Structures are given as C-alpha cells and as structure tokens.
Amino acid sequence: MVSRRDALRIGTAALAGAVLPVGAAAASSVVGRGCYLTFCRIPTAGLTTWKSIMDSFRVDGVDRVVLWLGGAFRSRRYPITWQYNREHRNVRENFAGQLIDYAHAVGIRVLLGFTPYTYDGTNQYAYERPDLKAQQANGNLARMQGIHSWGYNLDPTKPDAKRFMLEYARELYFDFYPNADGLLIESSDIDICTGGDCDGPRHYYEVEYEFVRELSDQVWAHHPGAEILVHPNYFVGGSNGAELRYDPRWSVIFSPWTVNLEFAKKVSRAYYFSLDMISQPPARVAASVRWVRDHGFASYFPSQEFFTYRARHAEMGETNLIGRQLRPFGFDFLGLDENPYRDPVVLVNRVALREYAEHPDLTEDQFRARLGQAAFGPGATGQEVADLLFLHDFCYGRDKSLFTLAVQADPRVLRERLERGLVGFADLRAVQERLGALPAVAARIRRSRNPAVRSLTRHTGLLEQNWDAEARSLLTAHLRG
C-alpha cells in the first residue's frame, strides 16, 4: 500500500488509476462536502481573516471543517507543545472558540484535529521527555521529522506517553474548546513506533486504538452528539493495520492511500479525503466528486490547506523551502493575514467543488459558464475563462507541491527538482511551451475593461517576474544539454 508520505510527494493524480475506479452509472445527486485545514500551520491569520474564510466555505456549501489545532493552542499542562509555534495568532490571542461560534452561526460544524503520539505539537513532547521516543523497526530511536512541527514520535506503550496524550487531547477539547462539534483523531502511518514493545504496525494500531476508544468514550459521556472522525487503520487489517471493533458512532475518513470499499460500506458515515483541491485541475476535482457519489460516501472532504509559516527544514524533501516565508498556495503576492480563497486562480477549484457537488454530471461547457460568472460576473467571455484556466494550469499543473507553485511557475522549484533528477526533457519542453503562450494571455488580461479580469495581472506579473533572464537561461541550458 502507498504510504501517506509517498502520496504527499507524488500527488493524488498518480494514484488515480488505482484509487478512483470508474463506478457504475448513478443518478445525479448532491454530494456533501467538508474541508480539512491544518490551522496550526497558518500562524499569521487572525480572527477577522478566519471569519472571512468561513464565509467562503459557507458559499461553497461546506458543512464541516476540520481545524487542526494540535500545536496551535496555549496548553497549560504541556507548554512545550506550542513553543515552536509561539508566534501563532491563536497561541497569542486564543480566538479559536470565537471562530467556532462564528462557524456555527453560518451553519458549519467544526472538528478539532490532532494525531496521537506524533505530528504537530505532540511530537514536541519528546524534547522534554526523550525517554518517551518511539523505536523504529531497526531498533533505533525515532528520527526527527514532521511538517512545520519537527520533532519525534512517541512510544504509545509507555505509560507516561499514554498519560500525556490523553491529558493533551482532553485539554484541547474539554478545557479550551468545548463548543466544538467533535474531533478528528488523525491516525498516522509516517515513522510510527514499530520497534520494541510496539512490535510492528499491527500492534501499534492496537495500542493507539486503546487511546481512541478511551478518549471517545469520555467525549461521548459529556457530549453524546459529538462527531469523532477516525482513520480506517484500526479496522481494515492487512500489513499496516489492525482488525478491531468498529463503533458505529465513529465517522471514518478514507484517503487515496487507505481506501477500502468493502469496509466503507459498513461505516455509518464515510468521508473521502484527497489533495485534489490544492494540487490538481478542476477536472480532477470533478472526478473525485463523482467517485464519492458513485461509491455512496457521505461527503467529499478534501484538504484546502495553505501555509504561512517560515520553513526551517526541507519540508517533504524540498530543500528550496529552507528559510523561506511560505505564502498561501505558493502565491507570493497573497498576504499573510488575508483570505486567499477569494483569489481568482484559487477560486477555480472552489467553483469546481461546489458546482460539481451540486450537479455531479455537469458538462465542461456548463462548468466554464458557471466559473466565468463566479470569477468575472455575468458578462464573462469564453476567452476570459480560457485565460483563467490557462493560469490555473500554469500554477497548479506539473507537480504542484503542498508548499509551492508548480515547476513551470516557479524556477526555484524547477532548479531543486533538476538537482534531484525529477524533471525530464519532456517536462522542460512543456514548461517552454507554456512560457511561450504567456505573453499573449498577459496582454489580453491587461487590455480587459473588466476589473475582475484585470486582477489577474498579479498572476501574470508574478510569472513574468519569476521567469527572469537567469531563470530562462537555466531552462535553455537544460533544453540544450
């Protein structure tokens, strides 16, 4: 099975053939939609911006939002969990409770996200308690790893690790944000404890399940209607999972690397997660929506993550990120305390989500008409929509990562991928062709009388600035070479 880390590296498009088989024809029906956000990795946005973001999700018909709050609240019991993130606005201002209330006012349920024994905030505890570090299968202690929050996975078989995890999760939900609608307990498959008493991944998930079971029972004792969203690792067996009892009160979220359609049929509420919204063309979003509809899932629940922290490490191996201030979706002109979902290029996949979710069998021409209306108003022309989609493909196409624009849009990414041998001659020719088409698109956008169309000059200007003489020389040299 493909691991989560591999899937994040290669993108969900590479998994499409295995993960999204063509389903039997189904009657068109509305598809529910949620949204997954690593709130902890957006340290610069304040309450006003977050309210605006919730407004955008409301327009898109989103009814549930995961706010990943591990590492982003000022834990009193375990302050080490937020020291790495002490400049986060919620750590300083503690506004998440107000944001949850606002989300409720606009009809959105909020689930608080964290991962047991690893990931953001949690993996910082081993700096204080190195004796709780997990063991790898080879007997070595856990290596430092992560995204933004770099630390060490914990050994869940150790009593103090169990105590920490339960107290930290209880503090998040019961002490800080009891107005939330539930939890996402995001099981991990990256560098989990498999050595020592963990005794391999199967036993690890059996031990982690004990924590999930205990926390769930405590939450439901106080809030019987709380939704607890878990991953399928505890139930599906195989080489990287356990076969434990499923409680029908749990919702289950499947991803391209954990899909199990037989188990999904037995789940009370099955959701499907992917990275399509932040890394793929709108046709890919449409395909995922239809697959969710055809396979009876309760909701399409994609990531809509963006990041605004300063990278200190080579995130997912991307050395070009070290020392960089990350910007929303890789657009350098977007502000650090700004709602990026209003950007017209980001809007493309938002429109794809809401329109295909409402009308899964929408034709391409119908989608383009609705995209033009949403982006540019009732007078939008076919050429204007085509130019917007050109820019979307320019920025999202050809291996857009979680953190940056695509290779063809950001020469820094191209240089790093060339050094790692990840870009071939055909890729370089495709970059050259896109650059050749850019001037005509930029000229049409500048001449437009529609202010909404002219706002795209920020995008064409960024691409032209990125591809300065030095960057073009790099491309030409490798095309010759």
List the chain domain ranges: 4-305, 381-480
pLDDT of residue 22: 35
pTM of the model: 0.93
Beta bridge partners of 154: 133
Query: Within 13 Å, how many C-alpha atoms sit on residue 317's CB side?
Result: 11
pLDDT of residue 4: 54
Backbone torsion region of residue 175, taken as left when φ is above 0, otherwise alpha when ψ lies between -120 and 50, otherwise beta? alpha
Helix spans in 65-135 (H) = 80-83, 89-93, 96-105, 125-128
Beta bridge partners of 110: 65
pLDDT of residue 242: 87
- Give, in order, the Cα–Cα distances in Å from 433 to each of 4, 149, 330, 394, 436: 33, 38, 22, 11, 5
Residues whose CB falls within 8 Å of the CB of residue 310, separated by 6 or more in sequence, listed in order: 323, 324, 325, 326
pLDDT of residue 15: 45
332 close to 319: Cβ distance less than 8 angstroms:
no
Among 155, 173, 48, 25, which Cα is nearest to 113's?
173
Among 481, 383, 398, which Cα is nearest to 435's?
398
pLDDT of residue 264: 95
pLDDT of residue 5: 54
Distance, in Å, from the CA atom of 68 to the CA atom of 107, rounded to the nearest integer, reads: 19
Q: What is the mean pLDDT of each run of 10 residues along the chain (481 residues)?
A: 51 44 52 96 98 98 97 98 98 98 98 96 97 93 95 97 98 98 92 91 94 98 97 87 94 93 95 95 96 96 97 92 96 97 98 97 97 97 98 90 93 91 91 95 97 97 95 92 69
pLDDT of residue 238: 76
Distance, in Å, from the CA atom of 475 to the CA atom of 135, rounded to the nearest integer, reads: 44
Angle formed by the axes of helices 382-396 and 457-466, nearest 10°: 40
pLDDT digits (tens, 9 = 90+) for 203-227: 999 999 999 999 999 999 999 999 9
**Residue 233 is which amino acid?**
N
CATH number of the 4-305 domain: 3.20.20.80
Burial of 45 (0-12, 13-18, 19+ CB in 10 A): buried
Burial of 139 (0-12, 13-18, 19+ CB in 10 A): exposed
Distance, in Å, from the CA atom of 375 to the CA atom of 436, rounded to the nearest integer, reads: 25
Q: Which two tokens stand for residue 122?
A: 């949690």
